[in-house]
Amino acid sequence: MALRKIRSIGDSCLGKKCREVDKFDSRLHTLIDDMRETLLYADGMGLAAPQVGILKRVVVINAGEDNILEFVNPVMTEAVGSVIDAEACLSVPGKIGEVERPQKVKITAFDRYGNEFSCEGEDLMARCMCHELDHLDGILYTAKVIRYIEREEDEQ
């Protein structure tokens, strides 16, 4: 496994629509393993492949306690409710913004071996799923932000 460089806002990779994965091979597994390691190292909640410069529909989400969920070609099949809350992005360093997201979502996706599964997320998990799926279509939360929240500045 290896750490990959996280691209920051302004990088062209973050504005592009990603391609579906069609080969569930060792190359994909290496990408996912590297994304897991990069996510843990960066101490983020979610990471999408375009954030490490790979324009493929792959997302990893840290569900807590070292349980990292992997989604290949995820599709949202249901979205219910609406919550405005704070979120941040590893590609938008130093900022937190309020965004409106569904309260609950359902997703179908494939695992790294090409097996289809579905899952649900509520509240923070729903927010994270929506945020990461947006990355696959080249959308950053900054395009949807209602307002930015001041973060306590460190002494410079």
Residues that bind Ni ion (CB under 5 A): 89
CB of 133 to Ni ion, least distance (A): 10
CB of 130 vs Ni ion, minimal distance in Å: 11
Residue nearest to Ni ion (CB): 89
The CB-of-61 to Ni ion minimum distance in angstroms stands at 11
Which residues are marked as active site?
Answer: 132
- Rounded least distance, CB 136 to Ni ion, Å: 11
| Cα torsion through 7, 57, 69, 119, rounded to 10 | 140
Residue 57 contacts by C-beta under 8 Å, 6 or more apart in sequence? 18, 19, 20, 21, 49, 72, 73, 74, 136
131 phi, psi to nearest 5 deg:
-60, -45
Beta partners for 72?
58, 110
Contacts of 2 (CB under 8 A, 6+ apart): 34, 37
Nearer Cβ to Ni ion (97/114)? 97
Residue 20, classed as helix, strand or coil, is: coil
